[in-house]
C-alpha cells in the first residue's frame, strides 16, 4: 500500500503536522511519501491532499488500462 501526501504547500511545518496526523489515525509512516503523481497509484492506495484546514483522504478504487486513476473521498482529518 502507498499513501501519497500532496500537501500543495511548501510550508514544511504543515507537511510535518500532516504526517503526524496521518500516523495518529493509523497509517504507518513508512507508507507515506510526498508525491503528486497519481499515475503511480494502484487500486487500494490512498491519496491525501491538504485543503485548509483539512486533510482529504481519497481511496483509489480503480485504475484504467490507459492510466486514469479513479478515487473517492473517504475521510477528512482536521489538521
Cell numbers of 21, please?
A: 496526523
- DSSP letters, 21-37, are HHHHTT--GGGEEE---
CA distance 9 to 41: 21
Give the model's pLDDT for residue 54. Answer: 95
Give the model's pLDDT for residue 26. Answer: 96
The model's confidence at residue 71, banded by pLDDT at 50, 70 and 90, is very high
Q: What is the pLDDT of residues 12-67, one digit of tens each?
A: 999 999 999 999 999 999 999 999 999 999 999 999 999 999 999 999 999 999 98
DSSP 64: -
Annotated domain spans of the chain: 3-78
Whole-prediction pTM? 0.93
Amino acid at each position: 500500500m502507498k499513501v501519497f501526501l500532496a500537501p500543495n504547500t511548501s510550508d514544511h511545518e504543515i507537511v510535518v503536522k500532516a504526517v503526524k496526523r496521518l500516523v495518529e489515525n493509523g497509517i504507518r509512516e513508512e507508507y507515506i511519501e510526498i508525491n503528486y503523481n497519481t499515475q503511480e497509484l494502484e487500486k487500494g492506495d490512498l491519496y491525501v491532499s491538504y485543503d485548509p484546514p483539512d486533510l482529504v483522504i481519497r481511496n483509489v478504487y480503480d485504475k484504467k488500462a490507459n492510466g486514469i486513476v479513479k478515487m473517492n473521498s473517504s475521510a477528512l482529518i482536521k489538521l
